[in-house]
Amino acid sequence: MKTGTLKQILLITDGCSNVGEDPIAMSALAKEQGVSVNVIGVMENDVIDEKGMQEIESIALSGGGVSQVVYARQLSHTVQMVTRQAMTQTLQGVVNRELTQILGNKQTIEDLPPEQRGEVMEVVDELGETVEMEVLILVDTSASMKHKLPTVKEALFDLSLSLNARTGKNKFSLFVFPGKKNDVEKLLDWTPKLESLTSMFAKLSTGGITPTGPALREAITYFEKKRSLRNLISRNDDEYYEESI
């Protein structure tokens, strides 16, 4: 079964967006582009209000992803859990589409007899260990996140250790919002080593607005740029091959 590369945006924030495009609409656009959007809301002494929680859930829902609201001290475990859960959810969607094509009648994993369902879930678990993943991490650095960034750094380091224990390839990139000059700033280009961001967190400054929508738009564009570059390289290789024969 070919699944390609699983693409995820992992949004870590602690409140409502307050400038730019609607982040829920941007998240839906990401889903259309084959990128799932997962959101972790970081609480400290219950400071996330009902509106903030609703936005977090809506962004994940429209992006076909997973959402979780947690206290800062639980962040490390949650980042790993949400990333894994989203991966499994995406793979189950792939398997369900395969089943519909093979069996018809819109059959899904849940429709199978218990024994077959168990066998299919084993395939999903195996794919979860072997499939290639690209995770673009978006971290809210607005003023209220100042005391939470050290915890975010630890959580992302633990995430890299967890995912690098898989046999499948992983690539990470890291963006923060708001940036120093723009709504969003790239801190880390695609790399298999998320631990390389450790030194960067010490240099981060917090403050300002929360442009979640523009940050999601930039993340989508970044995936598209990567795909365009890959297509260009592939096309050049084909042209070179044609000239050689």
Write the pLDDT tens digit of every residue in 66-120.
Answer: 999 888 888 888 998 998 888 888 888 877 777 777 777 667 778 888 888 888 8
Instruction: Write the DSSP symbol of residue 106.
Output: T
Give the residue carrying structure tokens 């969607």: 93
Q: Considering the chain, what percentage of its residues have pLDDT values greater than 90?
A: 26
What pLDDT digit, counting tens, does each position of 156-197 carry?
888 888 888 888 888 989 999 988 888 899 988 998 887 776
Do the beta carbons of residue 87 and residue 128 sit within 8 Å? yes
pTM check: above 0.85 = no
Pairwise CA distance, residues 164 & 73, whole Å:
23
Do the beta carbons of residue 184 and residue 214 sit within 8 Å? yes
Describe the chain by its helix, strand, coil percentages, rounded to 5. 55, 20, 25
What is the model's pLDDT at position 222? Answer: 92
